[in-house]
Each structure stands twice: as C-alpha cells, then as structure tokens.
C-alpha cells in the first residue's frame, strides 16, 4: 500500500478537535498519548503486540493530498485545511516491539508530539493495533497448541479482503508456517501454499481424473483433498494416481481425529508412510489441542484465526496522559486511566521465566531487580521510523521466545488470570 494516503482512515472528530484547538492556541501543547488495553479479552493469559510495523508505515503515509483536502473543505475551516495540507507527523514514538507480550495496562505504543499532530493519529493507530494484535494473540494460542506442527493460514474468505492480508501477516508473526493469501505473499514475503477445493474434484468426471490433473500440473508432492465422496476410496485413488511419494492428503470435514487415525493406517498399509495428513474445517486452538495425540501432520486454520477466536478486537485505547509536562486523566466513574507518561519493565527469574510486569510513571523510583528488561524501545524519532526496526522474521522469532518465557500456567488455553501480574508504580 506504499504511496496511498491513510489520512482519511480516521474519525471526523479528530479533525474538528484539531480545528478547535488551532483556533484557541492549545493545538501546540506538548502531549503524550498512551496506547494500552484495560484488560485481556475473554480470560486470556497474555496478549501479543501485532501491527506495530504496519502502524509505523501507515503514519508515514498519513498526509493530506488534494483529494483528501477537497473532501474536508466542506467540513473544516480554511485555516485547519491549510494546517492539514502541511501535516507530517514530527513527533516521537516509543513502544513495545512487535511480537512482544503485553498485559493489562502495558504502555505499548506511546506517541509524543503536539496535541494536534498526535491526536489525529488516534483512529489509525488503534485500528491497526486492535486488529492485528487480536489476530496474533489468537494465532499464538493456536501455534502453541499445535506444539511444533505447522499451521496453514486459510481464513481470507471469512474476513474483509484487506483485513485478510493483515491477518495472514499476523498469523505468520504468531508462528503459522504459510498462508493461502497471495497478496500477503507479495506484500510481506510470507510463503504461500494451497491444496485444492471440493469444486476441483466435482468439476471432473471422476475423483481419479481430478487427482490425475492435479498431480500432472503440480507434481506428486502435492496435497490431495480426499473427502469429496468417500474418504477410504479417496485415499486409495490418491495413492493409485500419485504413488507412495504423494506429499499429503487433506481431510476437511467430519471427525477429523478419528478420520486421521484411519487415514494413517490406510496410508501406511498402502506403503505411503511419508505421505502427510493435513486436517482443516473449523479448527480453533481447542480443537488443535484435542488433536495432539492424533497422527496429524499439519493444520489448516481459517475462520477462528481471522476472527480472533472469539475476540476479534484487542480493545486497546489511546489516551492523553500528559499535557506540557502535567499528568492528566479522566476522573469520572468508569473507564478511568492513570495520569502521567509511563514506561514498563518485565521482571524475570534467573531461569528466564517472566515474574511480573512493572508499569511505572517515568521518574518514579522503581527498585531494580537482577533480571529486569525494559520493554519500551524507540520506534519513531522526529516523525521518522528508527533505523533498526525489526523485520517480520525477527518479530516472529520474538513471539516464539516470549512464549517460552511464560510460567507454564501462562500457556493454558482455559480462562483465567493474566500469566503474570502488573504492578503499577506512581511517582
């Protein structure tokens, strides 16, 4: 999406607030906005930050061209339109690296700048972080449940066509092996793959003809979908056509655990001991975990991944916490937040297991532990992305390492408390 303006992917009120603040001189006050989640959704034990790289790219493209300005000229006064025409974010951003774990209150994306330049980014920052973090958080639970077996992301058809591309990226970040989404392959270099659909078998005069066509086109190291008619005869036909070097079979319906066992026995009896078994069909992290003891070689996951497995948004908010050095916070009942710019560190045991998250107001006295790690890193300086932003591969590696650092209860799929508790330290 390089080159496309992201400036209208925002809420009307962000710009009317800028207009009002420009008019009364408060627009240039130095502000700090913090992005955090008040809680983890649905009794989850941890969240995974996703989308940071996409946000930084989107901020670079948050500029108002002629088309955007023409749209706004009916809504805003000329002085505001002129200000927007010159807009480029020039502030600083610190936050959790993409792929880092987060917990309630973790300050995972902190924007510093004038009120006007920072407030206009609210909607865009939240859209990306809320979507991508929801997907990678769900995906990490699935990857963890799969326990090393590869997962293929194939949910694009169950979500918005552009959200699908971001979801494929988030799934890869979470540890999925490949995606079916071609645009995710092009845009992010994620390995793509695919098998075939029931339609391909139905198109042909027989399953034999369909399998022959597929093997002729892409070779015997392919995955044949064997459950269009009868699975047992489907497998027989598959090996007849492709030989015992067939790459894999896929089962997409029915009780896939039982069917995988039967398929494994049949494949072995036919001499196709290296032919893998891929299962798909409404799998989520619980179904994946339940299949651990079955002879499954890979999972195909669609709907549950792209919908965040019951939690399609991460519920993050973007709150003003400091104005010209003065801590501020909403004070009426409910939806309160804590005033003042914060940073965070994570405490670890000598073994490397995470102990607690310490979120502290910058300047507060925090007793140093022997195994602390500061969590915020510079992401943007003077409106520019920092030089050493991690690649998607590096962020993917970070997720893998972070999951290993959790206490064992932290990887439980059941509802419960966060894997580590958050300690808040005020000044």
Least Å from the CB of residue 368 to a second copy: 32
Least Å from the CB of residue 348 to a second copy: 33
Least Å from the CB of residue 171 to a second copy: 14
Q: Is the CB of 13 or the CB of 292 nearer to a second copy?
A: 13
Residues 6 or more apart from 413 whose CB is under 8 A from it?
141, 145, 285, 286, 289
Instruction: Select the span of 4-12, 238-246, 364-372, 379-387 touching a second copy (CB under 8 A).
Output: 4-12
DSSP letter (8 states) at residue 86: T
Query: How many residues at the interface with a second copy, by CB under 8 A?
Result: 102
- Edge-to-edge order in the sheet of strand 223-225: 178-179, 151-153, 298-301, 276-279, 248-251, 223-225
- In the region spanning residues 259 to 318, those forming contacts with a second copy, defined by CB under 8 A, are 281, 303, 306-308, 312-313, 315, 318
Least Å from the CB of residue 353 to a second copy: 33
**Nearest C-alpha neighbor of 86 from the set 109, 114, 111:** 114
Q: Is the CB of 105 or the CB of 308 nearer to a second copy?
A: 308
- In the region spanning residues 146 to 185, those forming contacts with a second copy, defined by CB under 8 A, are 154, 156-166, 180-183, 185
Q: Is the CB of 145 or the CB of 154 nearer to a second copy?
A: 154
Least Å from the CB of residue 345 to a second copy: 27
- In the region spanning residues 198 to 257, those forming contacts with a second copy, defined by CB under 8 A, are 198-200, 202-204, 209, 212-214, 216-218, 227-231, 252-254
Tokens 């300086």 appear where?
381
- In the region spanning residues 342 to 401, those forming contacts with a second copy, defined by CB under 8 A, are none
Strands of 292-365 (E only): list them. 298-301, 316-323, 326-327, 342-348, 354-361
DSSP letter (8 states) at residue 158: G
How far apart (Å, rounded) are the C-alpha atoms in residues 124 and 9? Answer: 6
Least Å from the CB of residue 339 to a second copy: 9
What x/- string results for residues 96 through 135 when contact with a second copy is judged by CB under 8 A?
-------------------x---x--xxx-xxx-xx----
Least Å from the CB of residue 166 to a second copy: 6
Binding residue for a second copy, selected from 60, 192, 266, 424, defined by CB under 8 A: 192
Instruction: Select the span of 85-93, 235-243, 330-338, 404-412 touching a second copy (CB under 8 A).
Output: 330-338
Residues 6 or more apart from 138 whose CB is under 8 A from it?
174, 285, 304, 305, 308, 309, 310, 311
CA 367 and chain centroid, separation: 33
Q: Is the CB of 336 or the CB of 409 nearer to a second copy?
A: 336
279 close to 300: Cβ distance less than 8 angstroms: yes
Least Å from the CB of residue 401 to a second copy: 27
How far apart (Å, rounded) are the C-alpha atoms in residues 57 and 156? Answer: 22
Q: Is the CB of 58 or the CB of 81 nearer to a second copy?
A: 58
Q: Is the CB of 210 or the CB of 359 nearer to a second copy?
A: 210
19 binds a second copy (CB under 8 A): yes
Q: Is the CB of 162 or the CB of 401 nearer to a second copy?
A: 162
- In the region spanning residues 55 to 84, those forming contacts with a second copy, defined by CB under 8 A, are 58, 67-68, 71-72, 75, 77
Q: Is the CB of 52 or the CB of 130 nearer to a second copy?
A: 130
Least Å from the CB of residue 56 to a second copy: 14
Q: CA-CA distances (angstroms) from residue 158 to 118, 179, 185, 257, 353?
A: 34, 14, 18, 24, 37
DSSP letter (8 states) at residue 50: -
Least Å from the CB of residue 228 to a second copy: 5
DSSP code string of 247-305: -EEEE-SS-HHHHHHHHHHHHHHTT-TT-EEEE-SS--HHHHHHTTTS---EEEE-HHH
Q: Is the CB of 199 or the CB of 269 nearer to a second copy?
A: 199
Angle, nearest 10°, between helix axes 122-146 and 392-404? 60
Least Å from the CB of residue 179 to a second copy: 8
**What is the token pair recorded at 161?**
């066509």
How far apart (Å, rounded) are the C-alpha atoms in residues 51 and 108? Answer: 11
Tokens 């996951």 appear where?
301
Binding residue for a second copy, selected from 20, 270, 386, 411, defined by CB under 8 A: 20
**What is the token pair recorded at 285?**
């992290």
């Amino acid at each position: 999406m390089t080159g496309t303006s992201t400036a209208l992917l925002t809420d009307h009120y962000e710009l009317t607030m800028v207009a009002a603040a420009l008019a009364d001189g408060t627009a240039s006050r130095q502000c700090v906005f913090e992005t955090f989640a008040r809680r983890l959704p649905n009794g989850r034990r941890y969240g995974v930050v996703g989308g940071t790289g996409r946000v930084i790219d989107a901020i670079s493209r948050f500029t108002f061209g002629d088309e955007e300005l023409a749209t706004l000229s009916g809504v805003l006064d000329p002085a505001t339109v002129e200000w927007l025409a010159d807009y480029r974010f020039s502030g600083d951003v610190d936050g959790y690296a993409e792929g880092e774990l987060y917990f309630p209150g973790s300050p995972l994306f902190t924007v510093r700048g004038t009120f006007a330049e920072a407030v206009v980014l609210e909607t865009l920052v939240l859209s990306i972080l809320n979507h991508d973090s929801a997907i990678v958080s769900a995906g990490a639970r699935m990857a963890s449940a799969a326990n090393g077996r590869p997962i293929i992301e194939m949910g694009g058809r169950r979500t918005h066509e552009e959200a699908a591309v971001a979801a494929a990226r988030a799934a890869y970040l979470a540890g999925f092996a490949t995606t079916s989404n071609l645009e995710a392959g092009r845009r992010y270099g994620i390995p793509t793959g695919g098998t075939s659909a029931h339609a391909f078998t139905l198109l042909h005069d027989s399953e034999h003809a369909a399998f022959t066509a597929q093997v002729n086109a892409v070779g015997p190291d392919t995955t044949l979908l064997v459950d269009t008619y009868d699975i047992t005869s489907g497998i027989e036909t598959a090996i007849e056509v492709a030989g015992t070097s067939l790459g894999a079979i896929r089962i997409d319906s029915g009780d896939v655990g039982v069917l995988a066992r039967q398929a494994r026995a049949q494949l072995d009896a036919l001499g196709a001991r290296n032919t893998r078994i891929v299962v798909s069909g409404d799998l989520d992290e619980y179904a994946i975990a339940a299949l651990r003891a079955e002879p499954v070689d890979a999972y195909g996951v669609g709907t549950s991944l792209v919908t965040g497995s019951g939690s399609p948004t991460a519920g993050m908010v973007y709150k003003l916490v400091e104005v010209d050095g003065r801590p501020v916070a909403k004070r009426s009942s409910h939806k309160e937040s804590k005033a003042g710019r914060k940073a965070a560190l994570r405490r670890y045991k000598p073994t490397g297991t995470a102990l607690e998250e310490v979120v502290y107001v910058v300047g507060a006295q925090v007793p140093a532990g022997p195994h602390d790690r500061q969590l915020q890193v510079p992401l943007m300086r003077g409106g520019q992305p920092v030089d050493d932003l991690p690649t998607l591969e590096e962020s993917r590696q970070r997720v893998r390492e972070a999951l290993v650092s959790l206490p064992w209860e932290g990887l439980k799929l059941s509802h419960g408390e966060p894997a580590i508790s958050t300690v808040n330290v005020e000044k």
